[in-house]
Amino acid sequence: MSDEEERAIAAAGKDENGDSIFGKIVRKEIKADIVYEDDKVLAFNDINPQAPVHILVIPKIRDGLTRLSKAEEKHKEILGHLMWAVAEIVRKNNLGDFRLVVNNGPEACQSVYYLHLHILAKRQMKWPPG
């Protein structure tokens, strides 16, 4: 089992209902290299990049969105806004082609239970992933 898999399994459920590192970043309790911010979304560079450009995009309010599979009808607006923000970030940073990833649960190696989108760019991606 890889370190990434071990971290994901250890994190599963740990901060499902509690605070997370992303909540602390939103509240500016922890510094992050912020690349985009509006009233609903925050985006920052990943501290462990998997590509030359690796940006995480999160809603400012978690509202039960610990993972995409927990989305409810009330989340439709923020989910759409997250996608729009990704397009805006890509345009403003001239990223060109990119991959967008959402890890959902421990088998997908989700290690922070706060919905987040990964923008990966500036390298050739492989298929199939993983």
Give the integer Cα–Cα distance in Å for 118 and 104: 12
pLDDT in tens, 71-130: 999 999 999 999 999 999 999 999 999 999 999 999 999 999 999 999 999 999 999 886
Q: Is 116 a catalytic residue?
A: yes
> Is 94 among the domain residues?
yes
Give the integer Cα–Cα distance in Å for 115 and 22: 9
Task: Confirm if 111 and 11 have CB atoms less than 8 A apart.
Answer: yes
Note down the domain range covering 51.
Answer: 3-121
> Is 19 among the domain residues?
yes
Q: Domain with 113 in it: what CATH number?
A: 3.30.428.10
Of 54, 75, 81, 116, the catalytic one is 116
> Is 79 among the domain residues?
yes
Question: Which of helix, strand or coil describes residue 44?
Answer: strand
Beta-carbon count within 10 A of 33 CB: 10
> Is 71 among the domain residues?
yes
Count of domains for the chain: 1
Q: Which residue in 117, 95, 92 sits closest to 22, CA to CA?
A: 117
Task: Confirm if 66 and 115 have CB atoms less than 8 A apart.
Answer: yes
Task: Confirm if 119 and 66 have CB atoms less than 8 A apart.
Answer: no
Q: Percentage of the chain surpassing pLDDT 90?
A: 82
> Is 107 among the domain residues?
yes
